[in-house]
Amino acid sequence: MSDTRDLLVEIGTEELPPKALRRLSLAFADSMGAGLEAVGLKPSKVIPYAAPRRLALLIADLPAGQQDQESVRRGPALGAAFDDEGCATQAAIGFARSCGVPVEQLDQLETDKGSWLAYRVVQQGRPTAELVPELLRKALAALPIPKRMRWGDRADEFVRPVHWVVLLFGDEVIDADILGVRANRYTRGHRFHHPDPIYLGEPQAYLPMLETEGQVLADYAARREAIRAQVMEQAKLLDGRALIDDALLDEVTALVEWPVALSGRFDETFLQVPSEALISSMQDHQKYFPVVDTQGNLLPHFITVANLVSKDPSQIRAGNERVIRPRLADAAFFWNQDRKQPLEQRADGLRNMVFEKRLGTLFDKQQRVAPLAASIATAIGAEAAHAQRAAQLCKCDLLTSMVFEFPELQGVMGRYYALHDAEPQAVAEAIREHYLPRFAGDELPATATGQALALADRLDSLVGIFAIGQQPSGDKDPFALRRAALGLIRICIERRLDLDIEQLLNTAAQTFEAKVNAAAAVNTVFDYVMDRLRGYYQELGVESDVVDAVLVTRPTRPLDFDQRVQACRVFRDLPEAQSLAAANKRIGNILKKWDQAIPAVVDQQRLVDAAEKQLAEQLTRVSKAVLPLMERGDYTPALKQLAALKEPVDAFFDSVMVMADDTALRDNRLALLQSLGNLFLRVADLSRLQS
């Protein structure tokens, strides 16, 4: 069974959930591929296809069957299997009986440890066609489907009712019942353009036959790119540029089998509404792609993607224009109504919106955040009054009709309403920016006031939630504290804010009521925040040993942490790095084993060996040069100068006995090593650097 063939699997269904289609397709491919490999059938590749009414796999070069497997069962040693006269002993007879054969049919097994009685059996490999149905059932059962449904009078369950199944191995159908449907070689085309069955002679015909005869683009990636190209072309015809959100593009790709992009128009008077609201309405409600001009201003056009080729596209265009008008009219109504009440007057309504029952309402949160934001603003050179005012207004837009309809516009609409209320520009911008960053890689607050408020809001959430014992565990993070911690780190490092996180956490803890006992959570929160640095630097491609070397010294300022990391990366490339890292490790081991007090200062009079005198002299000289650099955070030049200690350090360990019998000499040498180690630890624990 050495030949290989292609296997085509297609599950034809009612329209699948668009937001889950790609995930289901990839999981199907992974599960089926893993199942085949587990039974010794490894294909050259597994290609997933997915469209609204189908999940399919083209499994290339799949062996026609399993290889025969020889198994050897070892019995007693030959010396114990036969007596001096060559007759089988009870041990041999019992082993043969357990194998179901006479002793004469047993073999011998020679190993480097001796000779053994053995039973060899060849297990015939099964044909692939016999194995595939059960593997397919298991793969379908393992798909990440939150809620399965039944149809008809059968017990089968799937994400949607199944109407046809294709199971084609080479040019032969694998006869099987899958989810209540008998497998065959007939796929189905487009629901409207070609609803009739399409004959498939062999698996490789699947994609071209569906496209040319069935008018279905079954390749998800190809269909996605076709939609992107069509949308961009339509926008170009309008002298504009389409806003193509990746999540929306994925969803539209999962909604259509034969995409046809068409443009439409809406009344220009709607452009008086903030563009973000119009865009949200188009994208979220209608699955349209908005169009902007070269300056990024919204144009009164949209692009929709139909699922068929219409004989009269103008009818589709007109229908979509009719549908979008009331949506945009709603947005205009919300915009006009919301501006009738200033943000400030909405603050009292936050008393009825619970943040967390033990931590109070959103009104309480704003009251805590305001003084903290003002304090941070002062520290980074922003106007404290602006930060405090922004904090008092930052959640008020949650009570507006626009944000109720479009929750993703929180902060964005707050900025517009604040400007309408004649609030200072800095206050309005901070209301929007305090939500930033919203996700990994998102933009950061650009204004100092926005940075202060963003930090204060996250600090309050972290301290409060940890204080009541609701910190993240496993995959559960209902208050998005991982994102909050990473946001703190990114703002401090990437906006170059030299802030002490530990101090800020203590300040935040003081704003909570005594019953919360927030102060007790500060150390845990600090460790949690700093531990997020591992993931942060991993994304940036920074070596984990560098991050660990800095983490162990427990810097409390993320910007200072970053400066140390960058210095260590430069240092590890120096020729002296490996030797000094090894020396630091040796110093650490020596001091760790010594459990008695070590003098704080080296006694110059007790230095007797030339190597220790030279090291002490060089250490004194280098310390005077690098300590001011370290105080300023100039760690890179400091470590470069510390590299000059390589030769005296090597000479010291080559010729000086640290643990001398003379206790005075021993203690002085330990003090010298301690001074050396402490100097390096002002930057990082270099012993953790890998060569």
- DSSP one-letter code for 297: P
Residue 492 contacts residue 559 (beta carbons within 8 Å): yes
Comparing 221-225, 297-301, 675-679, the range with the smallest average pLDDT is 675-679
Mean pLDDT of 404-427: 96
**Would you identify the CATH topology of the domain 572-688?**
Isoleucyl-tRNA Synthetase; Domain 1 (1.10.730)
pTM for the complete prediction?
Answer: 0.80
Evaluate if residue 599 carries a pLDDT over 60: yes
Continuous segment of H or E residues that includes residue 30: helix 21-38
Helix axis angle, 425-433 relative to 448-467, nearest 10°?
A: 40
Mean pLDDT of 285-310: 95
Q: How far is CA 208 from CA 28, 49, 425, 633, in A?
A: 22, 13, 58, 63
- pLDDT at residue 1, rounded to an integer: 43
Mean pLDDT of 639-662: 82
Closest CA to 225 of 239, 194, 246: 246
Model confidence pLDDT, tens digit, residues 22-34: 999 999 999 999 9
Can you list the alpha helix ranges (DSSP code H) found in 156-268?
206-212, 220-237, 246-253
Residue 373 tokens read as 């934001």
For residues 141 and 135, give the distance between their C-alpha atoms in angstroms, rounded to a whole number: 10
Mean pLDDT of 666-676: 83
Model confidence pLDDT, tens digit, residues 58-73: 999 999 888 777 778 8
Residue 444 contacts residue 494 (beta carbons within 8 Å): yes
Q: How far is CA 229 from the centre of its chain?
A: 28
CATH for the 344-541 domain, from 1.10.3210, 1.10.101, 4.10.260, 3.40.50: 1.10.3210
For residues 517 and 457, give the distance between their C-alpha atoms in angstroms, rounded to a whole number: 19
Closest CA to 261 of 215, 318, 322, 303: 303
Evaluate if residue 687 carries a pLDDT over 70: yes
- DSSP one-letter code for 126: P
Instruction: Give the model's confidence band at 2: pLDDT under 50 very low, under 70 low, under 90 confident, else very high.
Output: low
- pLDDT at residue 78, rounded to an integer: 83
Instruction: Reduce the DSSP state of residue 475 to 3 states and report it.
Output: coil
Model confidence pLDDT, tens digit, residues 617-630: 888 888 898 899 99
Phi, psi of 342, rounded to the nearest 5 degrees: -60, 155
Residue 449 contacts residue 377 (beta carbons within 8 Å): yes
Q: What percent of the chain has pLDDT over 70?
A: 99
**Could you give the count of Cα atoms lying within 13 Å of 496 in the half-sphere of its Cβ?**
2
Evaluate if residue 675 carries a pLDDT over 70: yes
Mean pLDDT of 504-529: 95
Architecture in CATH of 4-66+127-212: 2-Layer Sandwich (3.30)
Evaluate if residue 688 carries a pLDDT over 70: yes
- pLDDT at residue 547, rounded to an integer: 94
For residues 399 and 585, give the distance between their C-alpha atoms in angstroms, rounded to a whole number: 58
- pLDDT at residue 271, rounded to an integer: 96
Evaluate if residue 158 carries a pLDDT over 90: yes
Is cis: bond before 437, omega within 30 of 0? Answer: yes
Report which residue type is found at 324: I
Residue 284 tokens read as 């979220």
Evaluate if residue 575 carries a pLDDT over 90: no
User: Domain coordinates of the chain in residue numbers?
Assistant: 4-66+127-212, 69-123, 221-338, 344-541, 572-688
Closest CA to 181 of 199, 195, 161: 161
Residue 385 contacts residue 374 (beta carbons within 8 Å): yes
Evaluate if residue 665 carries a pLDDT over 80: yes
Mean pLDDT of 641-669: 82
